[in-house]
A and B are shown apart, each in its own frame.
Chain A
Amino acid sequence: MSAPERSARDAILAAVREARPPAVARVEAPIASPTPAGNGGISRTDAFNAAGIAAGADVTVCARGDVARIVDAALGGARSVLSFSDVTPFAARVVVVVNEEDLVDDLHAAYARIDVRAHPFGAFVAGPSKTADIEQSLVIGAHGPKALSIVVGRA
């Protein structure tokens, strides 16, 4: 770090210490994940199927309010955090294969299962690249993949 940057660092930290409002304690209680009962009594696999995200179907996740709960279901397990190679964001079509047992209820459960530090680069992917920047019209394939498929398998 250069000398001017070091002095900027020290000045910012000193200003933060000077400014710090009275300490607010951290809340440690876990956020409750919806249980199957709390999720309308449907299992994760049923929910995926109901959403038209069964094996082989193109994923148009995030689309409908009535499936939003399970859309929150990020994919758990090591395979879920797609370790981006240089290729992935370029591919026109991406297929993800995931074990049924690696499905989790929500992002809280996903973060509890994965070590984000294990990969320098990883992403939760919730569908193809998209934009609505022109008059709120949804366009698929703004930059990256134009289709994303998820195959849910039973080990």
Chain B
Amino acid sequence: MTQRSFELPVVGASGRVDHPAAAAAFNADVARTEWHDASLWFVREKRDRAASTVPGWEELRARASAIKEHALTHLDEYLVQFEANATRNGMQVHWARDADEHNRIVHGILSAQGASRLVKSKSMLTEECGLNPYLEARGIEVVDTDLGERIVQLRGEGPSHIVMPAIHLRKEEVGDTFHDHLGTPAGLAEPNALAAAAREHLRQRFLAADCTLTGINFAIAETGGFVVCTNEGNADLGMALAPIHIASVGIEKIIPRVEDLGVFLRLLARSATGQAVTAYSTHVHGPREGQALHVVLVDNGRTRQLAREEFWRSLKCIRCGACMNTCPIYRRSGGHSYGSTVPGPIGSVLTPGLDLDRYATLPFASTLCGSCTAVCPVMIDLDTQLFRWRQRVVENGHVSLAKRASIDGATRVLDRPRLFRLLGAVARIGLRILPAPLARRAAGVWGRTREAPVPPPQSFRAWYRRHRGGAA
């Protein structure tokens, strides 16, 4: 088994995700951090170029947002409509309240047909549900066929990004993994050669599979069909070959009409990778002849998020990953540091809804700069929602004593002008006489990587009084 290149201390002794500690561990490898940051910024720039070539881009974003808000506020009607039309199209529709029900349903379909070899295309929902370990424990061979997903699967890791699952790895690490598992020559690290080896390896799995599982990007209520977007065509290969096709989908992925696809497909790939459209945008409206086609509709916390007045709009997400690519925290802390299937700004809004105590640090994994909101193709107000989660976290007492004490202290000082003035004077003197390392330490985390400021000779208040002469 390949050694993982780094183990992030994501979950602390308390059982809570400790994003700052995991991010610090990631940052310990300076070269990797710099490279990770640059790789994602490169994708962000491609997204900007793609978006800027589309006349009416902002109109498209507004429309996509409006369609999703309409769909989510009529979700029960569209779910029932989708179910009726999909059934008419020859699909079998299943409903799962949570991850466990989803996994049982999938396993039930497989065992009823005696199927034991499953090929999967990318599905963040099945990552969220922990489907792979569930099935493997029951003797099913599960093979992820998206190249990035296969790389992290072979390494025993989860994806670190929802679109680019292996974005945290260098090609040499992929080469080592393939050497261990696929028998490629030691030291081979050329991407074309590695991808060719994976193609051959996976082709055998495709041909042997007795079931394929795909995600769904858009489920269409009006027609009872769905769309799967990939660049590799791996979903298409699986669907074309396996006698059973299972498509797992979160209930928020329903859109009302076929014509809505025009809006979403024009936005999705441009936002994700800067491509005009994914290489394959595949429409499924029924099983192939002789094939069984199952759709599993999964709630797993989505109705709880829908009920939250402040957060339901996060369910508009179409999983493009643009908010991750642009986020200065994500780029410099890596997807694994979030301890959540969906990392980055959208993950930090969705995941606390599942377990606020466990994920209390995630809403703080942000500078609140708003870059995520600016690139979101469905106009989710991510920075606002992150800020609101912080308020919920504090209200519910999920904040460390040290942070609470410093905020309370700051409040007391800012409430008392005389004390504020006194401490200002102390700080100006302190900064002048203290050795620089001590001054930096006094500034806490902020001072770790920064020089202490040069203190001004007087406060602004004193300066203003002297020069303007007004009463303060």
Q: Mark A78-121, 1 if CB is under 8 A from B, else 0.
A: 00010010101110000000000000001110111000110111
Question: Size class of B's contact patch?
Answer: 35 or more
The count of A-to-B residue pairs whose CB atoms sit within 8 angstroms is 260
A72 partner residues in chain B, CB cutoff 8 A: 54, 266, 276-277
Of the listed stretches B131-139, B257-265, B417-425, name the one at the interface; the rest are far from the partner chain.
B257-265
A90 partner residues in chain B, CB cutoff 8 A: 237, 240
A124 partner residues in chain B, CB cutoff 8 A: 265, 277, 280-281
Known: A13-B79, A62-B277, A129-B233. A107 touches B262 (CB 8 A): yes
- Bound-state Cα–Cα, A16 to B55, Å: 36
* B285:A135 contact, CB within 8 angstroms: no
Quote the shortest CB–CB distance from A47 to chain B (angstroms).
12
- Bound-state Cα–Cα, A117 to B89, Å: 9
Which residues of chain A (21-72) have a CB below 8 Å from chain B? 21-27, 31-32, 34, 38, 61-62, 65-66, 68-69, 71-72
* A84:B240 contact, CB within 8 angstroms: yes
Which chain A residue lies CB-closest to B312? A21
- Bound-state Cα–Cα, A12 to B296, Å: 13
Which chain B residue lies CB-closest to A144? B233
* B284:A121 contact, CB within 8 angstroms: yes
Q: List 9 A-B contacts (CB under 8 A).
A: A13-B80, A68-B270, A69-B55, A86-B241, A106-B262, A107-B266, A116-B258, A121-B239, A141-B196
Is A122 in contact with chain B by the CB < 8 A criterion? yes
A125 partner residues in chain B, CB cutoff 8 A: 279-280
Given contacts A8-B96, A12-B299, A69-B55, 5 further A-B contacts (CB under 8 A): A62-B276, A65-B50, A110-B262, A122-B285, A126-B275
Is A3 in contact with chain B by the CB < 8 A criterion? no
Q: Mark B283-317, 1 if CB is under 8 A from A, else 0.
A: 11111100000000101000110110100100000
Is B249 in contact with chain A by the CB < 8 A criterion? no
Known: A129-B231, A129-B233. A32 touches B56 (CB 8 A): yes
B167 partner residues in chain A, CB cutoff 8 A: 136
* B263:A31 contact, CB within 8 angstroms: yes
Which residues of chain B (53-88) have a CB below 8 Å from chain A? 53-56, 59-60, 63, 66-67, 69-70, 72-76, 79-80
Question: Size class of A's contact patch?
Answer: 35 or more
Is B171 in contact with chain A by the CB < 8 A criterion? yes
* A135:B276 contact, CB within 8 angstroms: no
- Bound-state Cα–Cα, A137 to B70, Å: 39
Is B458 in contact with chain A by the CB < 8 A criterion? no
Which chain A residue lies CB-closest to B198? A142
* A141:B199 contact, CB within 8 angstroms: yes
Is B147 in contact with chain A by the CB < 8 A criterion? yes
Known: A31-B59, A117-B223. A23 touches B312 (CB 8 A): no
Task: Select which of B54, B195, B237 is within 8 A of A131 by beta carbon.
Answer: B195
Is B128 in contact with chain A by the CB < 8 A criterion? no
Known: A133-B146, A133-B164, A135-B171. A1 touches B279 (CB 8 A): no
- Bound-state Cα–Cα, A124 to B405, Å: 57
* A117:B63 contact, CB within 8 angstroms: no
Which chain A residue lies CB-closest to B97? A8
* A1:B306 contact, CB within 8 angstroms: no
Which chain B residue lies CB-closest to A17? B76
Which residues of chain B (223-258) have a CB below 8 Å from chain A? 223, 225, 231-234, 236-237, 239-241, 251, 256, 258
Is B388 in contact with chain A by the CB < 8 A criterion? no
Q: Which residues of A contact B (CB under 8 A)?
A: 1, 4-5, 8-9, 11-13, 15-27, 31-32, 34, 38, 61-62, 65-66, 68-69, 71-72, 74, 81, 84, 86, 88-90, 106-108, 110-112, 116-117, 119-137, 139, 141-145
Is B202 in contact with chain A by the CB < 8 A criterion? yes
Quote the shortest CB–CB distance from A61 to chain B (angstroms).
7
* A22:B237 contact, CB within 8 angstroms: no
* B55:A38 contact, CB within 8 angstroms: yes
- Bound-state Cα–Cα, A88 to B237, Å: 9
- Bound-state Cα–Cα, A20 to B305, Å: 10
- Bound-state Cα–Cα, A112 to B50, Å: 24
* B232:A143 contact, CB within 8 angstroms: yes
Is B49 in contact with chain A by the CB < 8 A criterion? yes
- Bound-state Cα–Cα, A128 to B232, Å: 8
* A5:B95 contact, CB within 8 angstroms: yes
- Bound-state Cα–Cα, A142 to B73, Å: 39
* A117:B75 contact, CB within 8 angstroms: no
Quote the shortest CB–CB distance from B238 to chain A (angstroms).
9
Which 8 pairs show the lowest CB-CB distances between chains A and B? A144-B233, A133-B148, A19-B307, A120-B286, A15-B303, A137-B191, A71-B276, A108-B262
- Bound-state Cα–Cα, A17 to B167, Å: 39
Is B105 in contact with chain A by the CB < 8 A criterion? yes
Quote the shortest CB–CB distance from A145 to chain B (angstroms).
8
Quote the shortest CB–CB distance from A35 to chain B (angstroms).
10
B60 partner residues in chain A, CB cutoff 8 A: 31
Known: A68-B50, A120-B287. A16 touches B79 (CB 8 A): yes
* B237:A25 contact, CB within 8 angstroms: no
- Bound-state Cα–Cα, A5 to B240, Å: 28
Task: Select which of A16, A129, A134 is within 8 A of B76 by beta carbon.
Answer: A16
Task: Select which of B54, B169, B261, B309 is within 8 A of A68 by beta carbon.
Answer: B54
